[in-house]
Amino acid sequence: MNAPTEVVLSGYYGYGNVGDDALCEALTTALFEAGVARIHIPCGDPARLPLDERIIPLGRFDLGGVRAALRGGAALFSGGGGLLQNTTSSRSLGYYLALLQLARWAGRPYVLGFQSIGPLHGPLWLAQVRRLALGARAVSVRDQRSARTLAEIGVPTERVVVAADAAFLMAPPSDEARTQTDTRLPAGPRLALCLRHTRHTEQVIRAVRDWWADGGWPGSLVLLACDAEDHELGLTLAAELGDRIVALPSPGPSGTLAALACCQGLVSERLHPLVFAAGLGLPSVAIDYDPKVRGLADDLGLPVASTDAALTGPLIGAALARLAERGGGESARLHALAEAARAAAQAEVTRLLAALSS
């Protein structure tokens, strides 16, 4: 397979976020399988990266280390997640654009792979994203919304491939991991609930309280965290809602997969648990806190309870009722969609590496 020997892989890696760590794990595995020999990764905590001697951790802001790797012959793979947006902060957007600019200055090729683009605010930022996207050897996004955003700022549609989220490349949990996780959970049937802190968190908490008081779920509720803040939220809810509820700390990508494999359904405000659930064939409901969640829900045909700003207990119950009406065919439908997404992601890794090697 045609692949560069060395790659700098950029993303929000090593900060204990399940979704971003899943992207790192999936992409490093795929790059190594494709023939890449060494991967340099700017990151937060190197201990959170996949354990592999071929991975060379760099400090997140070690631009000198990134520059040295590029000048030494590495190509830049800007890979996965919502990197090019300034809703979170313009400083974050500036950081990822700076890495692309370093590759340009070093005369090294770069690609944008499996990206979620936007929202973007401010004409100068839009111009910078357009310029650097046009300079990429190849561009792929994980949803149609991102492709439209690039088209709106002037990147020709024929230059952009709509692939899939790279987390679809994650391997399913082993039987041993499922068994070990199962013993830590209350008796089923189990519903996983993944929430996150947003400006509408109090609205979401009220909705969950009302839904649970109105009958909720007939079995147990697994409050599954994707980072430390999520776990604090889960502990608060577990203390309020009472029996049949467990709040799990963030178990990392593989642990999250194993926990979801022990459940019969999922309601998630987080994006990547919905990706994992699709791969497991686990029926799911989305809470739309961000356009990327709505985009994935649309792609997978998932019921959406509401935006987090307008969520109520009855809306959660109604979405779960719609899910129940789909019956046993829902699992097979999701499996098929996830397999197609996985195949698309594998093909896109091949295309992006070939572009870096051309």
Residue 124 and residue 190 in one domain: no
Same domain, 76 and 207: no
Please, what's the b/e burial string for 238-259 (b: 16 or more CB within 10 A of its CB; e: otherwise)? Answer: beebeebbbbbebbbbbbbbbb
195 shares a domain with 153? no
Say yes or no: 207 and 256 in one domain.
yes
Which stretches in the chain have pLDDT values below 50? Answer: none
Let me know whether 118 and 264 are in one domain: no
Is 275 domain-assigned? yes
Number of H helices, E strands in the chain: 13, 13
Residue 254 lies in a domain: yes
In a domain, 76, yes or no: yes
Answer whether residue 358 is part of any domain.
Answer: no
End of a domain among 162, 195, 228?
A: 162
Alpha-carbon gap, residue 115 to 136, rounded angstroms:
13
59 with 149, same domain? Answer: yes
Q: How is 178-241 classified by DSSP, letter by letter?
A: HHHHHTTS-SSSEEEEE----TTHHHHHHHHHHHHHTT--SSEEEEE-SSHHHHHHHHHHHHHH
Q: Does 333 map to a domain?
A: yes
Please state the domain count of the chain.
2
Asked if 289 contacts 300 with a C-beta cutoff of 8 angstroms, the reply is no
244-286 residue pLDDT tens = 899 999 999 999 999 999 999 999 999 999 999 999 999 999 9
Is 69 in the same domain as 100? yes
Q: Do residues 204 and 297 both lie within one domain?
A: yes
> In this predicted structure, what is the pLDDT of residue 177?
93
CATH code, domain carrying 251: 3.40.50.2000
> Is 92 part of a structural domain of the chain?
yes
What is the pLDDT at residue 358? 86
244 shares a domain with 192: yes
- Domain end among 162, 187, 219: 162
pLDDT tens digits for range 6-61: 999 999 999 999 999 999 999 999 999 999 999 999 999 999 999 999 999 999 99
Asked if residue 220 and residue 124 are part of one domain, the reply reads no
Identify the domain containing residue 213 by its residue range: 175-339
The residue to which tokens 């019921």 are assigned: 303
**191 in the same domain as 327:** yes
* 181 & 158 share domain: no
Is 18 within the bounds of a domain? Answer: yes
Residue at 329 is within a domain: yes
